[in-house]
Amino acid sequence: MKPDLRVFTNGFEATWPAIEYAAWLAENMHTHLTLTGVVEAKDAGHPVEDIFGRAVTLFQDKKVDYSLELENGSVEEVIIQRKEFQVLAGTETESEKILVLGPFGRPQVRKMIEGNSFRRLMAVVSIPILFVPVVRVPIKRVLICLGGLGYTFSAEHLGLNVAKMSHAEITLLTVVPPIDLDYPEARKIRDNWQNLTDTDTLLGKSLRIGLKKAQDAGLSASVKVRHGKIVEQIQSEVKEGQYDLVCMGSQFSSHGLRQYYTPNVTADVAEISQSPILTVRYLESKN
């Protein structure tokens, strides 16, 4: 099933890369794109109609199948209230819809009070979110961050589908932080982090499975293991590797293995990244 792209803008100029990126995806994936403009109370400095006009011209030039929507209110609240973005645990979601966003231009004071928009939306939106601060196409290098958690396989699956469009090179990354806990799994990871793919640990198995999936998809793939603080190591890898797309799991995904991935990893990386971030939330079934 082809994903339905849902793009939101409040007219702020920094949302234009998300619109441009979504148009590129829709053109290459031959799928539908819906652009929703949200007219906010104080939008004189970034009127929605201006960015709508540019978007329509872009969509028509690319011959993209699109539709337009217009709403009033706060763009974050409009997204949060959409029931179509909330799914039940245990359901398949990664191939149905992708929410495409850019920075909404919130003042620093508002961020301090309400929190970063991307971070807020990750807490309540269950479908994949593609955060686009800049456009990097065609996609030549893709970084998929694996932490041994179930949601990373969902992120990897969607990331591989995007990578196949331009035969991108895949790097599978896991970061082994300083581990103080003393139990068998932790000791194996701590003592063998430089050859993690050869171990029978959950992280080692995740890397081997991910590598095979990428290779089965006909893509050039490699594994990279870094040691240190999670956020700092991922940020360094993103910067040094000049990746065109970074795929990660949401911090709200799973309750297991907190010793590997702390709650704010994805949001912390997204806030400073100059590459698009694709995050997929894994929903644990309660059955």
Q: What would the pLDDT profile of 64-87 be if each residue is shown by its tens digit?
A: 999 999 999 999 999 999 988 875
**Confidence class of residue 93 from pLDDT cuts 50, 70 and 90?**
very low
Arithmetic mean of pLDDT, 243-251: 79
Place of tokens 């194996």: 188
Domains contained in the chain, CATH given: 4-131 (3.40.50.620), 141-280 (3.40.50.620)
What confidence score (pLDDT) does residue 43 get? Answer: 61
Confidence band for 261, pLDDT divided at 50, 70 and 90: very low
> How much of the chain exceeds pLDDT 70, in percent?
76
63, 23 in Cβ contact below 8 A? no
Predicted confidence at residue 87, as pLDDT, reads: 54
Average pLDDT, the chain: 80
Q: Looking at the predicted structure, is the pLDDT value of residue 125 above 80? A: yes
Structure tokens at 224: 């990279």
pTM of the complete model: 0.82
Predicted confidence (pLDDT) at residue 146 exceeds the cutoff of 90? no
pLDDT at 117: 77
pLDDT of amino acid 183? 64
Specify the pLDDT at position 45.
61
Query: In the sheet where 66-72 sits, what is the strand order?
Result: 66-72, 33-39, 4-9, 97-101, 129-131, 277-280, 245-249, 141-145, 169-176, 221-227
Kindly state the tokens that stand for 203: 């992280």
**Contact status, residue 131 vs residue 270, Cβ threshold 8 Å:** yes
Distance of alpha carbon 118 from alpha carbon 103, whole angstroms: 8
Higher-confidence residue of 34 and 152: namely 34
Cβ–Cβ under 8 Å, residues 5 and 22: yes
Which among 230, 188, 228 is positioned nearest to 205, based on CA atoms?
A: 188
pLDDT digits (tens, 9 = 90+) for 15-62: 999 999 999 999 998 999 999 999 998 765 668 999 999 999 999 999
pLDDT at 70: 94
**Residue 138, preceding peptide bond in cis (omega within 30° of 0):** yes
Query: Does 186 or 60 have the greater pLDDT score?
Result: 60
Identity of the residue numbered 7? V
Residue 119 has pLDDT above 50, yes or no: yes
Mean pLDDT confidence for 260-281: 73
Is the model's pLDDT at 128 over the cut of 90? no
CA distances from residue 79 to 22, 128, 154, 183 in whole angstroms, order as listed: 17, 13, 22, 43
Residue 7 has pLDDT above 90, yes or no: yes
CB 86 within 8 A of CB 126: yes
Residue-wise DSSP of the chain? -PPEEEEEE-S-GGGHHHHHHHHHHHHHHT--EEEEEEE-TT-TTS-HHHHHHHHHHHHHHTT--EEEEEEES-HHHHHHT-GGG---TT---TTTEEEEE------HHHHHHH--HHHHHHHH--S-EEE-SS---S--EEEEE--SSHHHHHHHHHHHHHHHTTT-EEEEEEEE------SHHHHHHHHSGGGGGGS-SHHHHHHHHHHHHHHHTT--EEEEEEES-HHHHHHHHHHHHT-SEEEEE-TTS-SS-TTTS-TTHHHHHHHH-SS-EEEE-------
Query: What confidence score (pLDDT) does residue 245 get?
Result: 93
